[in-house]
Amino acid sequence: MTNPTFSDQDDGVVRASPHALKIDDYVPAYLTFLANKLSSSASVAYRREFGIGITDWRIMALLAIEPWSVAGRICNIIGLDKAAVSRSVREMVQYGLVEVRTHENNQRRQYIALTPAGVELHDRVVKLAMDREQDLLTGFSTEERKQLIGFLSRMLSRLGDVKIDDSDDETCG
C-alpha cells in the first residue's frame, strides 16, 4: 500500500515552513545522520558478534588508550551522559571486562580500567571497527582522509562555542 499524497494545505493549515533547513546543505544534518547510522549498525554488529553495545565499546576504546580513567573523563571525551556511563560500567564489571578502584583519599572518585579479559575483547572488536572504517572510507585517498580528520577535529574544537548553555549539559563533568 502506498502512502497517500497530501498537499501541505489540504485543511487550510500551512504545514511547511518557508524557513525549513535545506538538509542537503546543512552540515549538522549530515553529521547527525552519519553518526546515528554508524552507531546503530555498529551496535547491532558488536552485540551480535561480541555481546556488547556501542556505549560499552566506546568506553572500552577509551580505556584501552587511557587506563584508570574516571567517569567524568569518559563522559567529557566521548560525550556520553552520566547515566549511560554508569550503567555500562556496572554491566562491564559484572562481565569481568572492567575493574573499578577508588583512591584511599577519595572513596567517591572511581578509576576504571579494562581487565585482561576486557583488553582481549577490545582487541577483537577493534579489528571489526577498523574494517568498518575502511569500508566507510573506500574511495578516499590518504590525503582526503587526513583532510577529513582535520576538518572534523576543527569542528570538534568549536563545539564549546556552539553550545548556548552548559547548565543543561547532561554529560559528566
pLDDT at position 8 over 70: no
Mean pLDDT of the chain: 90
What is residue 53's predicted lDDT score, i.e. its pLDDT? 95
d(CA 141, CA 169) in angstroms, rounded, equals 37
Q: What residue segments make up the domains of the chain, in order of their start?
A: 24-154
Confidence of residue 171 (pLDDT cuts 50, 70, 90): low
What pTM, to 2 d.p., does this model score? 0.82
User: CATH for 24-154?
Assistant: 1.10.10.10
